[in-house]
Amino acid sequence: MIQAFSAFQKKNLSVKRALLSVFDKTGIAELGTFLHEHGVELISTGGTSKVLEDAGLPVTSVDSLTGFPEMMDGRVKTLHPAVHGALLSRPNVEADMASLSELGYAPIELLVVNLYPFSETVAESSGFETCIENIDIGGPAMLRAGAKNIDHVCVLTSSDQYSAFMQEFKEQDATVRYKYRLRMAQHAFQHTSIYDTAVAMYLSKEIKSGFPDVLNLQLPKFAPLRYGENPHQAAAVYGNQGDIIEVLHGKQLSYNNLLDVDAALNLFRDFQHDEPTCAIIKHTLPCGVSTRASLKEAWEAAFATDTISPFGGIVLVNQPLDAETAQAIDTIFTEIIIARAFSEAALELLSQKANRRLVKIKNFSATESRYAYRSIFGGMLCQQPDAVATDTRNFQVVTHKTPTDQQMADMLFAWKVVKRVNSNAIVFGRDQQTLGIGSGQPSRLDSSEFAIAKAAKFGHDLKGAAVASDAFFPFRDGIDASAKAGAGCIIQPGGSIRDQEVIDAANEHGICMIFTGRRHFKH
């Protein structure tokens, strides 16, 4: 019995009747014409039926099939045994065919359905009632029924599939292979799964329920990648990257490129409304950041932070990139340049290097996410993104000495940069320019010493510089090292059991210090 059923599974499927019910009418008349020319009976609903009839095609309406008219402005039209029995029936099961025959129904071998545009309606910021009204009921029910009955039904869910289906149909002498039906069934269940997840996530946001009990990440494949972090690792990228950025020149972004672009966009978030700013990223870490009166000056100051690391790195600017700045950047090899836009002259100049990617930020608001995810053993970590802009309301001056306006500006600049540096993170900055960056060291003192050494290596005087620390100083040694290097002010979260010891150290050195009350760990 099982062997006989398995053999039936692999047979090509002849299509005698097709049900077409689509919201997106693209290409449906052409598909209907193709099916009619191959002797397939067309069954349809409402607006789809009208499109087919206008194309001169004979159509059997669903209500004539069911014997019931559409109800409630089309809310109920396909939820009927004449439809679902026809989609779920198995011609090799005698009882199924007897049930259909008794009621005067017949099998449907091809189902063409796409759904109400729920996600698009939400994206348009439509009201709650409108969004709810665009939750499809009958469509997913039919898709699930047809996709379940893989042996006897082929399901199409997108106009993008019509051309391949027609090619399959012609090549297989008006039949459809099991392998093709299996692939289309998988697409159908994936389609309804994404749809249901979108509805659930929307309702979760509406009721502000916090973190979901079950984490459903339904992301379409954006592109396959040549490999992952290393050539022996296969990889792909999922999501809506094409809505956020556009590669204007150069090869496809690699796995590591995408990580670097993500790091750059996260830093851009905190500087997008500032004066002309340039940031240089290497292996997801900022190695130079500066804000100046012009982009060219910002580039020169950012590059001066560390004149070695930027080679082969990523350059980000928060303004449209002009030709003069592009010419300055072009003096070294950069892997990627990211900007809001590129002038024609800048694009022409920078496109001369084939191995360089030029990336335009199309829609930065699309990068905003309710959650941030990281994969770990056995699952995922989920948290709110650290996307809070600098908020000085909770800042507290804890030393005898208070900061000048210039010192406050320098500390705020360094504070925004340190947020994007891996912990333990220390940033020295002055006059809206990074001077030394220490990241990822086992101790905060190590990071301080590393940042000081980097500054010395590239000839930066740290006298009067602001120091930003992503987390509290657990001991006074970090304060002592910063003061010895010439620092004039320090900004840090505070919260250590030795805070008073740290404050006393700052007072001894005659420098001012601010506690922000907010930590910016980045592991």
Residues assigned a catalytic role: 148, 283
Q: Which of 328, 273, 323, 335 is nearest to 299 (CA)?
A: 328
One-character DSSP codes across 82-111: HHHHHHH--TT-HHHHHHHHHHT-----EE
One-character DSSP codes across 503-522: HHHHHHHT-EEEE-S-----
Half-sphere exposure of 410 (CA within 13 A, CB side): 25
| Amino acid making up residue 292 | R
| Contact call for residues 62 and 41 (beta carbons, < 8 A) | no
Q: Which of 416, 450, 431 is nearest to 488 (CA)?
A: 431
Based on C-alpha coordinates, what's the Rg of the chain? 31
Q: Residue with structure tokens 């796995």?
A: 255
| Amino acid making up residue 157 | T
| Contact call for residues 441 and 422 (beta carbons, < 8 A) | no
| Strand-strand pairing, 235-238 and 221-225 | antiparallel
What's the CA gap between 230 and 263, in Å, rounded?
A: 19
Q: Which of 152, 44, 177, 174 is nearest to 100 (CA)?
A: 152
**What six digits make up the tokens of 496?**
């250590």
What's the CA gap between 203 and 218, in Å, rounded?
A: 16
What's the CA gap between 419 and 386, in Å, rounded?
A: 9
| Amino acid making up residue 482 | S
Q: Residue with structure tokens 């029936």?
A: 89
In eight-state DSSP terms, residue 422 is P
What's the CA gap between 198 and 135, in Å, rounded?
A: 10
SS3 258: helix
Half-sphere exposure of 299 (CA within 13 A, CB side): 25
What's the CA gap between 505 and 515, in Å, rounded?
A: 14
**What six digits make up the tokens of 24?**
């997106």
